[in-house]
Amino acid sequence: MFDDIRKNKIFTLLEENEYKLNGEKIGKLLSISDRTIRKEIKEMNEVCKNHGFLIKNMRGEGLYFNVFDQQNFLQFKGSRASSPLYFDINTKDGRMKQCVLILLNENQYMTLEELAEKMYVSRTTISHELNGIRSILNHNQLTLHSKVGKGILIEGTEIQKRNTLISIIDDSIDFSQIETYFEWKEQKEYVQTLQKKLPLLFNIFHLYFTDENLNNFIYYLVVMADRIKHQFVLDLNAKEKNSEPYTQLMDQLIALLTDTFGMEISESEKDYLFIQVKSKVIVKSDQDPLFNEVLDAYIQSFLDKINENYYYDLKNDEQLINDLKSHIHSMLYRAENNIRVRNPMEEHIKKYFPLAYEVTLYAIRSIKDEFPYEINLGEIAYLALHIGASLERNYQVKYERHNSCLIVCGSGFGTARMIETTIKQAIPNLFITKTISAQKYSALPYIEEDVVITSVQIEEKNKPVFKIETLPSKKEIIELDKKITREISQTTDLLLKYFSPTLFFKRSFKNKEDAIKTLTQAMAEEKVIENEEEFTSAILKREELGSTLIGEGVAIPHPLNLLSKRTQIGIALAEEPINWGNGQQTQLIFLLAISKEDYEEAMGIYDFIVEIIRENHAYVLSTARSFNEFILKAKMIYE
């Protein structure tokens, strides 16, 4: 098809929605101007006329294909997989990822000129984005090595390179992005074959995967096969060799993969495949008795730390214990073997379940010396869901959060994305987990989301279903929002109880540390905290574990321990954005000082902050010029 990814996106949208889209609607979907769309279509038509069709506009209806040579047109459509680029190089993020993708498939140095030629951009463009490329690689434990006269080369292990490849093509909530990648690579048939055959194989041996773990394993297998075919093989001395009860399973798995991909698999690849299988399988407690003692001790210490610091005693929650046994068993094995965990919901969990996340983070980090496992933040976010559910069951800790929704679409990928975009624009506080087909929906035994929005007629299961048009109007979506919204936030005395004009600052700050020091110093003067140095040190130590910027430019610095004499919230409104680390900026800072005595009641603070993010009030609050104006704006959140 077209050499330009943006043009291909426009073509796909028009193909699925002839006479339904105009330039303005397409511009909104692709986040570009109507004028740019007109320019793109003009350029597209220069190509189209040589392939038997033109893109035309019918007044009052929309854009459509005017086909005058059907055979030529069909040949053009059939060439869509031939594009040498996967990512959208019209965006900086897309260009950097495409550069990484190209370099991961090179085993020798490549000059910037050669890379620029493959990317259809200038050498200067590539040069300006090298730091961003290095950042992506460093995040995945790889380095970009430069050599004068030779160019650049990615250095690192083959496992790290495979993990990086999967990471950059798989960062969406659902699996749509990675599925598109395998279509582009003409590998979709492999994915479908393994989706049919692998569950049958694992069932024979009474081993069970979650749907997400099974898909992740399949994606790894397809990437593995592609890398082997291009001579990128593992050089691995596995810590753990294949053993009973896995020997027969692994023999049959290798036979299946050899037949599917038509290639031999080396011993090092087989060893790592065994580690992959064990890392993703749901292990029943009686299947690995030797590890049970360590597992029980880990869970005991984990829950003890929660009780010691937050006074939540969850040790008698049998449902939680069973859930933790299943999850932590695989989690510790993944940590031992440096297996990537896919958690696209990490930021969502951090934003809308902040208390459970903080409790879990504290407990995991506190037992690190006793159990030297390196648990990443994606794993911690998953554990936080179990802790959050237990807090609700045992302590009625509620979370004011986004309603979540599943979208079911009967049309193509372009239409599905258009429905998503329309809903996100009209209902920003509705969290869309994924978009699936009616066929996939019918196979689901249980719906995790709060509601289902569908463009086709489907059966209602355990969650309410809302039917919309294939191309819903904004008015229809607004009406839908009213139907979905069931509860209204109740006004509390939170603002009067925990906010104070003596702990409010509106000014410029040099950096993050300056803002934190300003607030902790004021808290010491107001006798909120006893030891300013200890309190500040504890806050900075928490920041080292992971950023406390939880979304929408809202930061909530706090110590891991409950160190304050009484509960108060310090407020810092920065006149200019402050760098909070990892390229993130904030102008709205809540410093949380929570005491042991009233910690449970003060948990409403987290509800208040979640509501700020949920209703997109961060910017409005950060523009307040005084404490009184801030309180007035804050009260509007509850109205």
Which of 163-172, 326-335, 621-630 is most confident?
Answer: 621-630
Looking at the structure, do residues 514 and 624 belong to the same domain, yes or no?
yes
Asked if residue 163 is part of any domain, the answer here is no
Looking at the structure, do residues 72 and 104 belong to the same domain, yes or no?
no
**Phi, psi (rounded to 5 degrees) for 457:** -75, 120
Residue 61: pLDDT over 80: yes
| Count of domains forming the chain | 6
Looking at the structure, do residues 619 and 505 belong to the same domain, yes or no?
yes
Q: Between the CA atoms of 75, 76, 82 and 87, what dihedral angle is there, to the nearest 10 degrees?
A: -150
CA–CA distance, 475 with 453 (Å, rounded to integer): 15
Surface-to-core class of residue 595, CB atoms within 10 Å of its CB (0-12 exposed, 13-18 middle, 19+ buried) = middle
User: Smallest Cα–Cα separation from 454: which of 540, 365, 444?
Assistant: 444
Residue 602: pLDDT over 70: no
Looking at the structure, do residues 540 and 633 belong to the same domain, yes or no?
yes
Q: What is the pLDDT of residue 55?
A: 94
Looking at the structure, do residues 241 and 292 belong to the same domain, yes or no?
no
Asked if residue 161 is part of any domain, the answer here is no
Write the CA distances from 436 to 441, 448, 605, integer angstroms: 7, 14, 36
Asked if residue 170 is part of any domain, the answer here is no
Residue 57: pLDDT over 80: yes
DSSP state of 469: -
Cβ atoms within 10 Å of 259's Cβ, excluding its own: 11
**Tell me, what CATH number does 301's domain have?**
1.10.1790.10
Please compute the mean of the pLDDT values over residues 486-511 and round it to a whole number.
73
Residue 412: pLDDT over 70: no
Looking at the structure, do residues 550 and 628 belong to the same domain, yes or no?
yes
Please report, rounded to a whole number, the percentage of residues in the chain having pLDDT higher than 90: 32
**Tell me, what CATH number does 452's domain have?**
3.40.50.2300
Looking at the structure, do residues 522 and 619 belong to the same domain, yes or no?
yes
User: Which domain does 18 fall in, by range?
Assistant: 5-82
Which of 488-492, 575-579, 599-603 is most confident?
Answer: 575-579
Asked if residue 322 is part of any domain, the answer here is yes
Give the predicted TM-score (pTM) of the model.
0.55
DSSP state of 257: H
Q: What is the pLDDT of residue 172?
A: 57
CA–CA distance, 262 with 601 (Å, rounded to integer): 62
Looking at the structure, do residues 446 and 346 belong to the same domain, yes or no?
no
Q: Which of 259, 282, 305 is the last residue of a domain?
A: 282
- Selected residue with higher pLDDT from 342 and 48: 48
Asked if residue 169 is part of any domain, the answer here is no
Which residues make beta-bridge pairs with 143? 155
pLDDT band per the 50, 70, 90 thresholds, residue 3: low
Q: Which of 452, 484, 516 is the last residue of a domain?
A: 484
Write the CA distances from 523 to 279, 418, 558, integer angstroms: 46, 49, 13
Asked if residue 434 is part of any domain, the answer here is yes
Query: 327, 335 in Cβ contact below 8 A?
Result: no
Of 91-100, 312-321, 452-461, 488-497, least confident by mean pLDDT is 488-497
**Tell me, what CATH number does 75's domain have?**
1.10.10.10
Q: Cα 172 to chain center, whole Å? A: 6
Looking at the structure, do residues 190 and 227 belong to the same domain, yes or no?
yes
81-84's contacts with Cβ under 8 Å and 24+ in sequence apart are 81/183, 81/184, 81/186, 82/1, 83/1, 83/2, 83/3, 83/5, 83/8, 83/184, 84/118
What's the pLDDT tens digit per position in 108-142?
999 999 998 888 788 898 999 999 999 889 888 89
pLDDT band per the 50, 70, 90 thresholds, residue 15: confident
Residue 345: pLDDT over 70: yes
Query: 541, 560 in Cβ contact below 8 A?
Result: yes
Q: What is the pLDDT of residue 488?
A: 28
Of 197-206, 276-285, 288-297, 615-624, least confident by mean pLDDT is 276-285
- Residue 96 region, left (φ>0) first, then alpha (ψ -120 to 50), else beta? alpha
Tokens of 74: 């069909």
Q: What is the pLDDT of residue 491?
A: 32
3-class DSSP state of 571 = strand
Residue 81: pLDDT over 60: no
| Average pLDDT, rounded, for the chain | 84
Looking at the structure, do residues 500 and 596 belong to the same domain, yes or no?
yes
pLDDT band per the 50, 70, 90 thresholds, residue 245: low
Looking at the structure, do residues 571 and 626 belong to the same domain, yes or no?
yes
Q: What is the pLDDT of residue 417?
A: 73
Surface-to-core class of residue 357, CB atoms within 10 Å of its CB (0-12 exposed, 13-18 middle, 19+ buried) = buried
Residue 557: pLDDT over 90: yes
Tokens of 76: 């053009």
**Residue 189 carries which side chain, given as an amino acid letter?**
E
What's the pLDDT tens digit per position in 433-481?
888 888 788 877 667 677 889 988 888 876 788 888 877 877 788 888 8
What's the pLDDT tens digit per position in 358-389?
899 999 999 998 998 888 888 898 899 889 88
Asked if residue 252 is part of any domain, the answer here is yes
Q: What is the pLDDT of residue 395?
A: 76
Looking at the structure, do residues 48 and 142 belong to the same domain, yes or no?
no
**Tell me, what CATH number does 583's domain have?**
3.40.930.10
Asked if residue 167 is part of any domain, the answer here is no
Q: Which of 282, 309, 339 is the last residue of a domain?
A: 282
Q: Cα 180 to chain center, whole Å? A: 17
